[in-house]
Amino acid sequence: MDQDALIAELQRATKDREPVDAIVRRLAEPGADAAPGLVAAVGTVSRSALWGLRDALRLIGPPAFDVAVAARTRADKVPDWWELGHVLRGFDERCVPQYRAALAHPVKEVRHQALGGLENLGEAAAVALTDVIPFLNAPDSSTRYTAAQTVRAIGAGSGPVLAGIRRNGPARLRRHALTALAVIGEADLLDERDRRALQRLIRVKAALDIPEALPDHQWIAVPGATYDGLFEAMGLHDRIPCTLSMGLSAAENDSVDVTDPDGTRHTAYRVFVTPELDGWRLVYANTPLSPAVWKYTDVIERISAACGQAQFFAQDEHSDSMIWAVALDGVLRRRYRRNESPEWVGEPMDWETPLTDDPDYDPAEEYAPNATTETDTNGAAWALSLVPEDIDDDTTLRGHGWLAISRAGVGHTAFAGALRI
């Protein structure tokens, strides 16, 4: 049976949910000679048949890899780019040399797919580690993310190799090896000289921090003059100085499961406190401030008891849910919450506009007596402290940020993910 007939048979079998292993093997039997036709067909078959073609190309191995790369690079944009991406990520360990070569390919997407293919190979891709780690510091976040996933897939067993690069070079890889050690949670392998150098670098970079727009999905605001009490109020430990970039990247991986010597398991959280920005410190604790972990009203009441005032803000544009809340001297002073229906707690503050002043106010509607027009989270933040997304070069920045942990003794190296300094 010729190749076209076999591909048609594959289409029929996948449609009828019949086994296709035998068809896949027959498609791969001619070896390299079959690769061009199979690659040309990937954009013409059904999704389920595509996986069969991918498996046949995997069986063929390196010759098929080269044909797939050539097909992807025949033009800047090709109609079957999505299918070719899946093919390129699907080869086995025989193609590790091809993947390593593809990491230097002039086409960015080929480099990206090569990273993804090595990620899929996991520990079998360990020989490519030194080719992968420079991508941890790539200019674009997508490449950095895929490179980090690949390093994690290769595994913590690469820690000694990375530590050796830090000590002995080559010099061009030392910076990337440091990032990789952080990604796999093996920063403990750094020697004392590296630790001191890293601390110096953080201090220097923090002094050069420039105000920039910050996430506005969820945060706490605390007066800069009295913020120091928040660490004890939130039960935070092991605080270390950080830059804005460090804090934001830490928020991407802000929880870790730890096991006590007696086998008891706990979850520890990492919290980012910004430098002072126009007189306010913002606190980012994305995971622990979810309702299932910490109750935000309790948190801001504890903080306000220590710091005089604390504000909580959260918003989700997709669900149109919003919260803003203010606690003063340990007591919840005012809160607005909207999920399906609005809810106000506490008496209106001086800056709020009574609902009766709203041109659209309908006296026939039943509103709570303490309802006001201040139902927008960013609007409340503007009145109370500052709006994170409005932070820019005109914002006054003082001091440096902090990273702290919710559980003593865990240490910052327990958290996965590199911190961008």
Task: Quick: pLDDT tens for 6-44.
Answer: 999 999 988 888 889 999 999 999 999 999 999 999 999
Residue 198 is assigned to a structural domain of this protein: no
170 upstream amide cis, omega within 30 of 0: yes
Whether 409 is in a domain gets the answer yes
256 in a domain, yes or no? yes
Query: What is the chain's percent helix, strand, coil content, to nearest 5?
Result: 50, 15, 35
- Residue 208 resides in a domain: no
What are the tokens at 183?
């990604």
pLDDT in tens, 290-317: 776 789 999 999 999 999 999 999 998 7
As beta bridge partners, residue 223 has 280
| CATH at 30 | 1.25.10
126 and 263, same domain (yes or no): no
Q: Decide if 202 is inside a domain.
A: no
Q: Give the Cα separation of 110 and 68 in Å (integer).
A: 10
What is the per-residue pLDDT for 107?
94
pLDDT score, position 271: 95
Distance of CA 124 to the CA centre of its chain: 25
Q: Do 224 and 352 have their domain in common?
A: yes
| Sequence-separated (6 or more) residues with CB below 8 Å from residue 43 | 79, 80, 83, 84
CB-hemisphere CA count at 13 Å for 408?
Answer: 3
| Tally of CB atoms within 10 A around 398 | 11
Q: 261 with 159, same domain?
A: no
- Measure the CA–CA gap between 229 and 302, rounded to whole angstroms: 10
In a domain, 419, yes or no: no
Q: Where are the alpha helices (DSSP H) in 251-401?
A: 296-307, 377-384
pLDDT of residue 418: 66
Residue with tokens 């009295």: 226
The verdict on residue 201 lying in a domain is no
**Which residue's entry shows tokens 């990375």?**
162
Closest CA relative to residue 399, chosen from 185, 215, 239:
239
Q: Are 188 and 410 in contact (CB under 8 A)?
A: no
Residue 74 has pLDDT above 70, yes or no: yes
Lowest-confidence range among 32-46, 160-174, 348-362?
Answer: 348-362
108 in Cβ contact with 85 (< 8 Å) = no
Question: Could you say which of 158, 193, 228 is where a domain stops?
Answer: 193
pLDDT of residue 419: 73
Query: What is the rounded CA–CA span in Å between residue 401 and residue 409?
Result: 21
Examine the domain organization and report whether 298 and 348 are in the same domain.
yes
DSSP letter (8 states) at residue 156: G
For residue 395, pLDDT over 80 is answered with yes
Give the residue-averaged pLDDT of 159-172: 90
- Distance, in Å, from the CA atom of 231 to the CA atom of 406, rounded to the nearest integer, reads 9
221 DSSP β-pair partners? 282, 311
| Domain, as residue range, for 31 | 3-193
CB 408 within 8 A of CB 238: yes
Looking at the structure, tell me whether residues 71 and 123 fall in a common domain.
yes
CA-to-CA dists, residue 168 to 6, 130, 164, 195, 421, angstroms: 54, 14, 6, 16, 23
- Nearest residue to 400 (alpha-carbon basis) of 286, 240, 229: 240
Query: What's the total number of domains in the chain?
Result: 2
Chain center to CA of 88: 24
pLDDT of residue 196: 80
139 plus 32 within the same structural domain: yes
**What percent of the chain has a predicted confidence (pLDDT) above 70?**
95
Task: Find out whether 39 and 57 touch, Cβ atoms under 8 Å.
Answer: yes
- What local confidence, expressed as pLDDT, does residue 128 receive? 97
pLDDT at 198: 75
pLDDT above 60 (res 364)? no
Q: Where are the beta strands (DSSP E) in 151-254?
A: 218-223, 237-242
Q: Which residue in this structure is represented by tokens 């791969």?
A: 28
Closest-CA residue to 365 (of 341, 393, 340)? 341
Could you read off the pLDDT of 176-207 as tens digits, one per residue?
Answer: 988 888 777 776 777 788 778 777 878 888 88
Q: What is the pLDDT of residue 1?
A: 64
Q: Which residues pair with 113 in a beta bridge?
A: none
> Per the domain annotation, does 205 fall within a domain?
no
pLDDT at site 402: 95
Q: Are residues 372 and 295 part of one domain?
A: yes
Average pLDDT value for the chain: 90
DSSP class of 18? -
Nearest Cα residue to 175 out of 227, 135, 204: 135
Give which of 332, 321, 417, 327 is closest to 377, Cα–Cα: 321
Residue that terminates a domain, selected from 193, 228, 244: 193
Task: Say if residue 272 is in the same domain as residue 229.
Answer: yes
CA distance 65 to 87: 8
Q: 369-391 burial string, b = 16+ CB within 10 Å, else e?
A: eebbbbbebbebbeebbbbbeeb
Is 295 found in the same domain as 249? yes
Contact 146, 116 (CB under 8 A): yes
Q: How many residues appear in the chain?
A: 421
**Are residue 170 and residue 227 in the same domain, yes or no?**
no
Task: Check whether residue 70 and residue 144 sit in a common domain.
Answer: yes
Q: 347 and 230 in one domain?
A: yes
User: Would you state the pLDDT for residue 64?
Assistant: 97
pTM of the model: 0.67
